[in-house]
Amino acid sequence: MRRDLPVSYSTDGAFDLSARYALVMLGLIAGVRVRFVRECGVVHYGPAPTGDALWLPADPVAQRALLSRTRMHPTAHDDSAWGRNFLSLFPVDSPDAPLQSDIVAAAFFFFSRHEEWTAEEGDQFGRFREADSLLGMRGETDRPVTAEYGAVLAAGLRARGYDVPQEDRYEGRAAAAVMTHDIDYLSKFTPGLLFRETVKNALFNRRRVPLSDRLRRLGEYLRFFRRERDPYVYSILRMLEIEQQCGITASWLFKAGGRDKRDVSYRLSGARARMILDLLSGRGHDIGLHPSFNAHDDLPMLRGEAEKLRAALKHTPVRGSEQMPEWTPVSVRQHYLRFRYPVTWRNQVEAGFSVDSTLGFAEREGFRGGAAHPFLPFDLEAHRVLPIWEIPLTVMDGTLAHYRGLDPDASAVRIAQLLDITAAAGGTAVLLFHNTAFDRHDFPGWGRVFKQACESISDGRFYTGSLADTAQSWAASAGYASLKEVVEVINSEPA
């Protein structure tokens, strides 16, 4: 049974909710359930110490700046306290304290995504760029800095004799790794791909290969017309088989619409989709939504697609039951990782989702915003906490293969490195493999990368549940019954 951690704070008032939010997020990482009190708590956050509480020094200047939509340029440097290293953003002059930095404000900077709120422009798809992030500019996107702040809090508590639970946080596992799949295609016989294979490759020899190779590839492609031979269907079946062998429950995210040229539509009511949905649900996997290209800032579009998925799942049986329940998909990831702060999160909440995994960089693997754990978003425009878990995307196959140009062997090494970092931080890694992994024409070697990744995350270090299961396990391990309770604690005034 985890004990509540009594926490008091002293700010100028405007930062009160922000302070409570950041303290709860840090408490989650440290493994404690925060309870805010008016009198001196076990921990006190403020510009001056109070009683014998563990003092977390506050920087009022940083607090005011974090509530302003003005681009911040913190002078980051490495520091340490209670034997734990961390990235200091806001140094404070507190000679009597072992901690010479405002880690609460620093945590708020990263968790609230202040740098995205104040970013001036994005890439060609409107996405916040890794190169424009503080960690990206420092070449430290692999660094889970928010985990460092949580570890500093836990170390400070232990130094003061407070019993911080040290058992594994994810149902007996030290860390978590979530396997996810964005299902962009269900058939390799789309008009665009048919034109590419028959005209560009076979007729005009775009690949610059001998005629015999062109004819062989074309023959193989035409045989893909049979459902069981289609690489995108075969990839799903093969990935599912490997996940079952490794004891992995994955999150599979399906499309339910889209009119942009970067959307490839398929009917969830079609025989192919029905077969796959029934198979996944029958084996206990999570099924969520992969919204269309423009749905990241279009609430009616997102709602419509969510309703289509719900309607399709309404007729999908649950494993071990003949009933057809009213499914409520809770997991979501935006197509192309398109995200507009804070609109995308707001719309996801309005559409009924409770866990998102969009926040990752398409062009670079690692920890966007230094986050290696589930967290709740903070809406800086409305100054409120949003009731949806964000579990950032750590690594995507497309990032490694296309943006970074890594071959399968090098990609497998990078995935292993990120898993090691996640395990050391006691965090959550989210992996994304599309259902193209076993397409030997266009993605040779990636089936092997997927298999190696599955074997790595099932080696005993990681909890391997779905996005929603992982978020619930994470919150419960700190003493929270639900996402709703975490939000209530953040919004509660000190007792």
Other Cβ atoms within 10 Å of 119 Cβ, number: 15
* Residue 494: pLDDT over 90: yes
* From the candidate CATH numbers 1.20.120.160, 3.40.50.620, 3.20.20.370, 3.40.190.10, the one assigned to the domain spanning 175-189+224-477: 3.20.20.370
Average confidence (pLDDT) over 144-165: 94
Mean pLDDT of the chain: 92
Average confidence (pLDDT) over 165-177: 87
Domain map of the chain by residue range?
4-169+487-491, 175-189+224-477
Kindly state the tokens that stand for 309. 């998925």
Other Cβ atoms within 10 Å of 18 Cβ, number: 23
Which segments of 161-298 does DSSP mark as H helices, in order? 191-195, 211-223, 231-246, 271-282
Helix 16-30 vs helix 145-159: crossing angle, to nearest 10: 80
Contact 141, 395 (CB under 8 A): no
Beta bridge partner(s), residue 46: 57
> Residue 223: pLDDT band by 50, 70, 90 thresholds?
low
* Residue 424: pLDDT over 80: yes
Distance CA 429, CA 324 (A): 33
* Residue 95: pLDDT over 90: no
pTM tops 0.85:
yes
* Residue 186: pLDDT over 80: yes
- pLDDT, tens digit, 9 for 90 and up, residues 301-318: 999 999 999 999 986 655
* Residue 171: pLDDT over 60: yes
* Per-residue pLDDT, 370: 98
- pLDDT, tens digit, 9 for 90 and up, residues 433-470: 999 999 988 899 999 999 999 999 999 999 999 999 99
* Residue 319: pLDDT over 70: no
